[in-house]
Amino acid sequence: MKKHKTAKRHSKIWQLLLYVIDQTPKSQTAFLNLKRVCETHLKGRYRITVIDLEKHPQLAKGAQILAIPTVVRRLPSPVRTIIGNLSDTERLLVGLDLRASG
Amino acid sequence: MKQKGAIPPSRNPSLPRCPTGIQGLDEITGGGLPLGRPTLVCGGAGCGKTLMAAEFLVRGAVEFGEPGVFMSFEESESELKANVASLGFDLAGLVQRRKIVLDYVHIEPSEFQESGDYDLEGLFVRLNHAIDSIGAKRVVMDTLEALFAGLRNEAILRAELRRLFRWLKAKGVTAVITAERGREQLTRNGLEEYVSDCVIMLDHRVVDQIATRKLRVVKFRGALHGTNEFPFLIGDTGISVLPITSLGLNHKTSNERIGTGVPRLDAMLGGRGFFRGSSVLMTGTPGTGKTIVAANIASAACKRGERALFFSFEESPSQIIRNMQSIGLHLEPFVRKGLLRFHSARPSLYGLEMHLATMFKEIAAFLPQVVIVDPVTSLMDSGTPSECRAMVTRLVDYLKARQVTTIFTSLTQGGHALQQSEASMSSLMDSWLLLQDLEGNGERNRVLYVLKARGMAHSNQVREFLISKNGVDLVDAYIGASGVLTGSARAAQEALEKATALANLQEAARRKRELGHKQEVLERQISGLRSDYETEAVELRRIDQQVGTRTLVLTTERAASGRLRQADAHASHGTRDKPKLGNGRP
């Protein structure tokens, strides 16, 4: 489990889990896209945890992972899920509830 | 399952099968689903897809030692456990013993946001992990269509599904994929495009307010399979499919005969009753005693220590027992001993198929030697004539294959002795007894005769059928110039005959006496005549003597006279008598 601590602790730390399988180009892209958006909108108050299901397949069931890559916003609640390589920034922002949809 | 050992071997050895253990399904498919390949089970809502998939998995784990993975997209694990528990499947226990892994894939479209390209590798990982964790051989995915509702990118989804089925094949698991039925295609989302090895269609339709479940093997690549629709049922022990055509006409026949419990009826049937394993039809108008004859046959079977199963569609068990008590037939001890079992159900309770399946199940559980269906005509109302005939055919075949003697009673409407349904049904039957009412002289009497009895000499006589508190009996009906007489008319006729006989007897005696008298007279006459004759004979003898004497005398006299005359001539003859003159008369 790789941990990317990008910022100091903050009152409202966003906990983001990125589920990938192996270091495929798709998961690399997703990670970079996610990081870019977080840097733009959540600078200093987010934490991305990359979980490789190839190494921890048992985690997939509990987290209800279906598609790869999947980002789960564990905090702040409610839990939000975005699937895909996150190339569609607009959708990502809607998914993370950083922008009102529409 | 009872039929576990009866799974026929695969007809195509090149295509190995994976037995489902589902009653009847393995017979239709020739041994089971294609081994190591996915099978699509499609059908509308509530047609039993999930249950069939679950049964496939549970039976695999319990009966065939093949662990399985149930991946559910619709029902949660606890819901699933509760649902299949109603069929007697202990899913929770199997999960605990690590025979089955349940994985509920929860997809809620509103909680999802799609951004860019993705794949369903997560699903693969989950499935792979589940399979490997218990060494699963069977996989169920129920139903994949939920994915279409949850994921917007259909292009990705379709590509991934194609990959999934390839992956399942490569993994070597036998998979059952369920899918919702579509309007114009087999499944709503065209899943049949990916699963090309075996497609089974389930249907649940309502005709005349009676729901029937049907199963059809639409496709089975590389194998012969029954293409007909087969009715199936969901009962308390799972699904059972009822194959119609798989049963052939190759049942063994028995030469053993079994008594009916009515000695005179046995006598009518060549003296020894019916053949074991034969099917007997008993038709009659209401109140002719069909149930009574049937109950006698059942009771006779129980007395032999055999088991009898009584399907009653009109009376409750206690009612039958009470009614039979009134004619001196005590069925209750047999029920208590477990030799006799009743199964009562209203015909309208459920469809024909359900009745048939229930009967099959009862028969399989109780293993009776005699089965009574009373009356089979009640079931006729639950379906079309062709369905009914098919049903009776199946029942007869099923029972014959098991060497079970079956009595079908059939109710005919008053007036008509036979009806169309019976005429068509009768060709399935080995023996046919006809019970009839004869009206006349202000009373109603029951008669019975054997219309047909294959393979045995049987009486052509009509017998009067008597029911008393001591049971039933058959007596010869009076058949004369004036027709068949029964009841009091028969009794009157008998009395009349007796009187006539007596009169005849008396007449004969009188004649005999007369004759004796005549003989006496005659004899007297004869003796009179004889005495006359004897008198005359004596007279005659006397006359004869006289004549003889006279002739002698005459001759002597003549000789003497001659001598005398000669003496005249010769004179040398000595004189002996005084010379007589004249013609010699005294």
Q: What is the ipTM of this complex?
A: 0.84
pLDDT tens for each residue of B285-329: 888 888 888 999 999 999 999 999 999 888 889 999 998 998 888
Q: Answer yes or no: do B114 and A65 touch at CB < 8 A.
A: no
Residue B84 pLDDT greater than 70, yes or no: yes
pLDDT of residue B247: 52
Residue from B395, B421, B427, B243 nearest B309 by CA? B395
Spatial distance between the Cα atoms of B469 and B452, rounded to a whole number of angstroms: 29
- SS3 category, B465: strand
Spatial distance between the Cα atoms of B492 and B495, rounded to a whole number of angstroms: 5
Show the domains of chain A with their CATH numbers: 2-95 (3.40.30.10)
pLDDT band at B8 (very low <50, low <70, confident <90, very high): very low
Enumerate residues 6+ apart whose C-beta is below 8 A from B56. Answer: B20, B21, B22, B33, B68, B138, B140, B176
The partner residue sitting opposite B122, judged by closest CB among A26, A66, A87, is A66
Q: Answer yes or no: do B103 and A79 touch at CB < 8 A.
A: no
pLDDT tens for each residue of B238-295: 787 766 544 555 667 788 888 888 888 888 888 888 888 888 888 888 888 888 889 9
Cα separations in angstroms, B294 against B153, B192, B283, B446: 67, 52, 11, 15
Which range is least confidently modeled, B31-45, B322-336, B484-498? B484-498
Residue B416 pLDDT greater than 70, yes or no: no
Contact between B401 and B433 (Cβ < 8 Å): no
Which residue type, as a one-letter code, is found at position B34? Answer: P
Which of A65, A66, A68 to mutate to probe the B interface, most B CBs <10 Å? A66
Chain A residues whose beta carbon lies within 8 Å of the beta carbon of residue B150: 66
Residue from B528, B539, B443, B533 nearest B488 by CA? B443
Spatial distance between the Cα atoms of B300 and B295, rounded to a whole number of angstroms: 8
Residue B232's DSSP bridge partners are B213, B241
Contact between A34 and A86 (Cβ < 8 Å): yes
The single residue listed with the structure tokens 């939920």 is B146
Spatial distance between the Cα atoms of B119 and A39, rounded to a whole number of angstroms: 26
pLDDT of residue B69: 92
- Touching check for B107 and chain A: CB below 8 Å? yes
Q: Phi, psi (5° rounding) for residue B388?
A: -65, -45
pLDDT tens for each residue of B188-212: 777 777 777 888 888 887 766 667 7
Which range is least confidently modeled, A46-50, A74-78, B392-396, B475-479? B475-479
Show the domains of chain B with their CATH numbers: 2-241 (3.40.50.300), 257-481 (3.40.50.300)
Contact between B211 and B204 (Cβ < 8 Å): yes
pLDDT of residue A6: 44
Which of B104, B111, B113 to mutate to probe the A interface, most A CBs <10 Å? B113
Which of B73, B76, B115 to mutate to probe the A interface, most A CBs <10 Å? B115
Q: Answer yes or no: do A88 and B129 touch at CB < 8 A.
A: no
pLDDT of residue B517: 92
pLDDT of residue B436: 82
Listed in sequence order, the DSSP H helices in A1-102 are: 25-41, 58-62, 89-95
Chain B residues whose beta carbon lies within 8 Å of the beta carbon of residue A26: 117-119
Q: Answer yes or no: do B130 and A64 touch at CB < 8 A.
A: no
The tokens describing B259, both together, are: 């008594």
The partner residue sitting opposite A91, judged by closest CB among B105, B114, B151, is B114
Question: Which DSSP string corresponds to B325-378?
Answer: HTTT---HHHHHHTSEEEEE--GGGS-HHHHHHHHHHHHHHH--SEEEEETHHH
pTM (predicted TM-score): 0.62
Size of interface A-B (CB pairs under 8 A): 99
pLDDT of residue B250: 63
Residue B566 pLDDT greater than 70, yes or no: no
B106 to chain A: closest CA residue: A64
Contact between B258 and B276 (Cβ < 8 Å): yes
Q: Phi, psi (5° rounding) for residue B89?
A: -95, 125
Spatial distance between the Cα atoms of B276 and B278, rounded to a whole number of angstroms: 6
Report the relative pairing of strands A14-20 and A70-75 from DSSP bridges: antiparallel
- Touching check for B110 and chain A: CB below 8 Å? no
Tell me which H or E stretch contains B323: helix B317-325
Spatial distance between the Cα atoms of B408 and B135, rounded to a whole number of angstroms: 51
- Touching check for B452 and chain A: CB below 8 Å? no
